[in-house]
Chains A and B, each alone.
Chain A
């Protein structure tokens, strides 16, 4: 069996990530997550302080400038995937470049 190239595998992961964050995320559970629920039950939820970027354009995984709920969440998901991908890839390539500057050990 011919194995898909690294490029194809990478593209597949990218498309899956975009699909999950851009489309499937609309159907995610909206109930509070584990820590939030425990903080409510045990009585320390009120110690939470307002988030410094809580008014940002994508705060709470919504695009505050889009009215349509589905589109608002989807766009924020896609923006998040692209941002993380750029930062993550940039970081790993920066780390790698420093490595290849050294006398090679390979």
Chain B
């Protein structure tokens, strides 16, 4: 979903650039609370993994392909603020070094593919954690569903920006249908990749997964109470 230069007009691109700068600035401050001895070594690696996986475009039929956006996976693994920083680095490098995503559209791409997917992925993930059983096995499932939802929402956000600053007049109804339709399919890939990647780390070191902390803390409490009962 890398937006090239020219799709959106200058005022809109300047506005998204400013918005992205603000969000990255806030993320730099808030990420401090997420970065500890367990998440800090992994943050750069998660960014590198998201970059690598974005290169793996998968066919979704009708001569169209899609690739991971990565906000949800980053948010669940290292926390939503750190995750926002991770994917912002990815889009910066892609735009400057690989000419993927316009330079004037960098703010747009950070907002659409980074901030929206991090935020939506994280909120859906946390919402599901409240209603699903509080077990480690549910973490990859909730992450996968959050990732799935984040992609069509990001495509809707593009339609919203296009409605404000699109350079060519396109009927918004048909643009919405086309964008959401295609990105529902891409979202399935996003969900599967996120499920597999989060599941792999959960299988070996669940304590490294930021989004699993509430579940693991609950489990430790249970173990303590039962051992206390055994002693009594």
Q: Of B15-23, B43-51, B128-136, B217-225, which stretch is located at the interface?
A: B43-51
Interface residue? A66 (CB, 8 A): no
A44 pairs with B44, CB closer than 8 A: no
A84 pairs with B7, CB closer than 8 A: no
A60 pairs with B48, CB closer than 8 A: no
Residues of A close to B204: CB separation below 8 A: 3-4, 9
Per-position binary interface string of chain A over residues 88-106, scored 1 when its CB falls under 8 Å from any chain B CB and 0 otherwise: 1111110110110000000
- What distance in Å separates the Cβ of A27 from its nearest Cβ neighbour in chain B? 8
For the complex, give the distance between the alpha carbons of A61 and B80 in Å: 28
B46-66 at interface with A (beta carbon < 8 Å): 46-53, 55-60, 62-66
Interface residue? A17 (CB, 8 A): yes
Pick from B1, B47, B59, B65: contact of A85, CB under 8 Å = B47
Q: Which residue of B lies closest to A41 (CB)?
A: B178
Pick from B40, B51, B65, B66: contact of A84, CB under 8 Å = B51
Interface size counted on chain B using CB atoms at 8 A:
71
Residues of A close to B82: CB separation below 8 A: 92
- What distance in Å separates the Cβ of B213 from its nearest Cβ neighbour in chain A? 15
B174 pairs with A92, CB closer than 8 A: no
Q: Mostly helix, strand, loop or mixed at chain B's interface? A: helix
Q: Of B89-97, B116-124, B140-148, which stretch is located at the interface?
A: B89-97
Residues of B close to A68: CB separation below 8 A: none
A29 pairs with B5, CB closer than 8 A: no
For the complex, give the distance between the alpha carbons of A59 and B100 in Å: 8
Residues of A close to B53: CB separation below 8 A: 17, 20
A1-60 at interface with B (beta carbon < 8 Å): 3-4, 6-7, 9-10, 13-14, 16-18, 20-21, 24-25, 28-35, 37-39, 41-44, 46-54, 56, 58-60
Beyond the given A53-B96, A92-B40, could you list 5 further A-B residue pairs with CB under 8 A, ordered by the A residue number? A30-B57, A52-B5, A54-B99, A88-B44, A88-B47
- Of all A-B residue pairs in the complex, the 4 with the closest CB atoms, nearest first, are A89-B44, A88-B47, A88-B44, A49-B6
Using a CB–CB distance below 8 Å, which chain B residues touch chain A? Answer: 1-7, 28, 31-32, 35, 38, 40-53, 55-60, 62-67, 82, 85-86, 89-90, 92-100, 102-103, 155, 158, 166-168, 170, 174-175, 178-179, 182-183, 186, 201, 204-205, 208
* 21 A-B residue pairs with CB within 8 Å: A13-B49, A16-B52, A20-B55, A25-B52, A28-B56, A34-B183, A35-B1, A38-B178, A38-B179, A47-B168, A56-B99, A58-B98, A77-B52, A80-B97, A83-B97, A85-B44, A88-B44, A88-B47, A95-B28, A95-B35, A99-B35
